[in-house]
Structure 1
């Protein structure tokens, strides 16, 4: 992971993040100063950022919000205090309400971003300066250390480009913490088709099958917020296994980029998971990212031990074949 250290210093009233990247300083600078690239990593998994303005000049302002899997929004803005391209920039980071007014219940802070060349690429050092020990303690208690670490650890895929980052690697599963797992798979196809393949029953039936030997006998999808879906599978003749299915509800939908649903094993009292699907296209390929939230680490480990990743890879490989014929 790129982040090598996050240090909080109550005496100096600072939090310092250090991260190393196999990319030149100029490329790292570009990722932090282009709002469309910044959106791809500024915000931890499950809380992606949207920048609605970005005036990258001294005295200029960047407005943004983070959107949770359930659609809640957290607002903020940066005021650019100084810029020294491509070595550093400094901002005032302010929590805000939906109209952009500062949220006086949460502390603002001064943040510096410094970019230095290393033997293997470049290094980011970001220092956040707080006005008091209470302010530092407040944001640490809110999970800022963990959130910032997970956010910056997403930057590799932006710097490398999707094909270099994920092509040929198949389905990859990463454990993010006790309750969150991130699954990624690059699909050779445009985002609109990949989105349709996740929303249209006639396409879903062709690829979402897991290992060979199964058929999808039920596929009902209401992709509206609050709408329900239901999938069921049954074994073909000669395949061992019992009929099973999943049902759930759509919580958030932003075509063709993001859909969040619950997932529950039909006919059981197992707890539901939260499935946060996002799509991003680059150079004719689409990266599927699925962040799954489990109720606890034990449930997470039980599900992963079923061979879930292998089953998903079989489905995604089948998906590429389906898209080639659409």
Structure 2
């Protein structure tokens, strides 16, 4: 399947550069995944009108690390940027370094007047650097004082409030990027959703920068996804199985939650089990969903793996039609943008 099938015209000015002060104030498009019917809601809060008692929302509770560090080489004083990608073992991390040529094996970089140091001990499969950190105290506490949020490359504005790039339910540290569909929720909205009789379940998938990696192959079948760590607890698995058995709908919040549930359901004939591991599942049209019934997501970039995923759920033509309307209606795109609910039937409950 040619990548050009997932292209559309997106003016640069529609890529949201800053988050709204009120998380719920984003607009919401509702797309019927079967008919392609579209409805517009002025506020994301109105998502509650499309949920019904017995449904289950699945949220990714990963927490973004302040994973971008700026330091200097001890031997030359040259400036170096280090981006944490994945913890390997102990204090060893896979990272991306700019400029990479300055980070040869044995090189030591210091951050924050020596409070944190990184020694290059090797290279990764994709050209990154493996570093070993040294510090006093607790690594994550040191990182919180020295690091910056690793915003996507499409966002050029500085983020004044770093918590605005975290969901209100973020708790499991480990992501290099936020599960941005969840940024629309407030604690009050989640409480109101639960009061309606909708279940809330949590999974964890630590988002890697492969999320932003463009598809560089001519056909999507040739593209390989980077693996990301996921985890589902026994309690969540039991909760989801009960919702399905009782006829409720499972609605994921974001592509990360979707990929986690589909990874597990695909391995267990549509059932959910306690499980953790690494997934590189790539969902595109032709895929048959086994775990979910609907999804809340943001508006994605042209020719991205994310728009391919939602095209698998709602049909490529339906999705591209909805995206053309989103552009015409000047919806805000990407991480800090507006939201879409993809579900069977687009009537309020």
Q: TM-score, normalised by structure 2?
A: 0.26
- Which has more strand, going by share of residues? 1
Higher relative contact order (CA 8 A, sep 6+): 2
Q: TM-score, normalised by structure 1?
A: 0.27
